[in-house]
Amino acid sequence: MKKNQLAEGIYSVGAVDWDVRDFHGYSTYKGTTYNAFLIIDEKITLVDTVKYSQKEQLLYNISQIIDPKKIDYLVVNHVELDHSGCIPDIIDLINPEKVICSPMGEKALLAHFHQEDWPFEIVKSGAEISLGARTLQFIETRMLHWPDSMFSYLKEDGILFSSDAFGQHLASTSCFDDQLPLGDIMNESAKYYANILYLFSPLIQKLLKSLAELNLDIKMIAPDHGVIWRTHKDKIIKAYDKWSKGEDSKKALIIYDTMWHSTEKMAQAIARGIEAENIPAELINLKVNHRSDVMTKILESRAVILGSPTLNNGILPRIGSFLIYMKGLKPTGKLGAAFGSFGWSGEAVGILNSMMEEMKIDLIGDGLRLKYIPTEENIAECFEYGRTLGKAINEKTEN
């Protein structure tokens, strides 16, 4: 079997992007892949394409198996440009008999590329198309990640082409989940979930239930980013179930920025107080932690304690920017509190509280403000405040 072969006649032919480091605000330190899949049957079928800049890799990989012009059907599971950027060039080259997409997929393709004369074949949930010996079944997955998104399930081989779902931004020439350390794959899967899919958690819960009801005999899950799940597919489904239910650990994140180290000293003392109540507390200085890594930690932590000094009657810009990013991802079921030093006006704690209330974070108390540089007594006060937070976290949670 070739190294990129999923089963007899089914190949991964997408592209590895070793260089990408930013995915609209998500820091992709490990690059990514844009996966596409070729099915050799009576109707030769390409499932998804790649980002425009990676078109040559896609065509090269296909040409190692067949002449790309022999492709009959193009399946578009998702129209975001990392998967569709080269579609116009691919359609010009292969002149497909069908461009298969969801109803919303057609709308999105037209709004992106304005080509009314493409041979659209619109498929709704449950529709099937025969490729010859094999059958593709389609499942619309609206908002995972866009309204147009769908899964394609290759029935005879039990392969679920899952588009963005179950993916990871992880560049590698290894195609499968048993060819890289599982811890690395799961970490990148959690980061991907926290930064791309978190806000769709209620829909993901519904999707997991409806997938179970379909009773598909899934042997492999082939997402459009990262490795294909063939050995550990149950682990990623279980993780999606846990993340989408909002199950986290009794742990506190103390996320702060600091001007002249006073808020930092407060953060350290508060952490010691929380730890004194037997709750792990992690200090996260936003000067040295990327927002997307912090979101990954929030996914799995119960309490979010925010700290900022007051600057110009407001909060420090780094924490403001982080909170705008966090708000969009809609984490649920978190406990929160605020703290910070100030000189004269001292609005930061109130602003942090308001922002957390907007995110429906359950606030513990009104927060702690200290003037200028904390004294020893002030540090003791921060420690006690940490203990108070720790006690409240223990009271409000069971595990």
- 164 flagged as catalytic: yes
Among 177, 224, 257, 347, binds ligand FEO (CB under 6 A): 224
Question: Which residues are CB-contacts of 195 (< 8 A; sequence separation ≥ 6)?
Answer: 25, 26, 292, 295, 296, 329
Rounded distance, CA 49 to CA 36, Å? 5
Instruction: Give the residue with the Cβ less far from ligand FEO, 109 or 323.
Output: 109
Burial string for 71-105 (b: 16+ CB within 10 Å, else e) reads bbbbbbbbbbebbbbbbbebbeebebebbbbbbbb
Instruction: Select from 80-88, 277-285, 323-331, 350-358 the region that touches ligand FEO (CB under 6 A).
Output: 80-88
Q: Which residues on neighbouring strands pair with residue 256, listed in sequence order?
A: 285, 307
250 binds ligand FEO (CB under 6 A): no
- Nearer to ligand FEO (CB atom), residue 113 or residue 146: 146
Given 11, 73, 83, 145, which residue is catalytic? 145
- Rounded to the nearest whole angstrom, what is the least distance from the CB of residue 322 to ligand FEO in the complex? 22
Pick between residue 35 and residue 262 the one whose CB is nearest to ligand FEO. 35
145 in active site? yes
| Residues in binding contact with ligand FEO, number by CB under 6 A | 9
Whole-angstrom distance, CA of residue 346 vs CA of residue 392: 25
59-67, 79-87, 130-138, 238-246 -> range binding ligand FEO (CB under 6 A): 79-87
78 counts as binding ligand FEO under rule CB under 6 A: yes
We find the least distance from the C-beta atom of residue 36 to ligand FEO, in angstroms, to be 12
146 vs 325 by CB, closer to ligand FEO: 146
Q: Which is catalytic among the residues 225, 240, 381, 385?
A: 225
* CA separation for the pair 201, 218 (Å, rounded): 22
Six-digit token pair at 356? 């957390």
Tokens for 373, please give them. Answer: 């540089």
Q: Cα(165)–Cα(222) distance, rounded to whole angstroms?
A: 9
- Which residue stretch of 46-54, 63-71, 77-85, 270-278 sits at the interface with ligand FEO (rule: CB under 6 A)? 77-85
Catalytic annotation on 82?
yes
**Catalytic entry in 8, 22, 24, 213:** 24
Return the number of the residue (165 or 306) whose C-beta is nearest ligand FEO.
Answer: 165
Nearer to ligand FEO, 55 or 145 (CB): 145
For 266, the enclosing helix (H) or strand (E) is helix 262-276
Place of tokens 């993901």: 204
The residue number whose beta carbon is nearest to ligand FEO equals 80
CB of 280 to ligand FEO, least distance (A): 33
Known catalytic membership, residue 24:
yes
80 is a site residue for ligand FEO (CB under 6 A): yes
Helix (H) or strand (E) holding 349: helix 348-358
Inter-residue contact 337 to 323 (CB < 8 Å): no
Q: Please identify which residue in the block is written with the tokens 């588009």.
A: 163
* Cα angle: 312, vertex 317, 323; to 5 degrees: 120
Binding mask 98-137 for ligand FEO (x = CB under 6 A): ----------------------------------------
- Based on the shown chain and the rule CB under 6 A, indicate whether residue 145 belongs to the binding site for ligand FEO: yes
Question: Which residues contact residue 26 at a Cβ distance below 8 angstroms, ignoring those fewer than 6 apart?
Answer: 169, 191, 195, 196, 292
- Separation in Å, CA 295 to CA 131, 184, 292, 298: 42, 17, 5, 5
* Burial status of residue 243 (CB atoms within 10 A of its CB: 0-12, 13-18, 19 or more): buried
As annotated, the active-site residues are 24, 78, 80, 82, 145, 164, 192, 225
Which residues lie near ligand FEO (CB under 6 A)?
78, 80, 82-83, 145-146, 164, 224-225
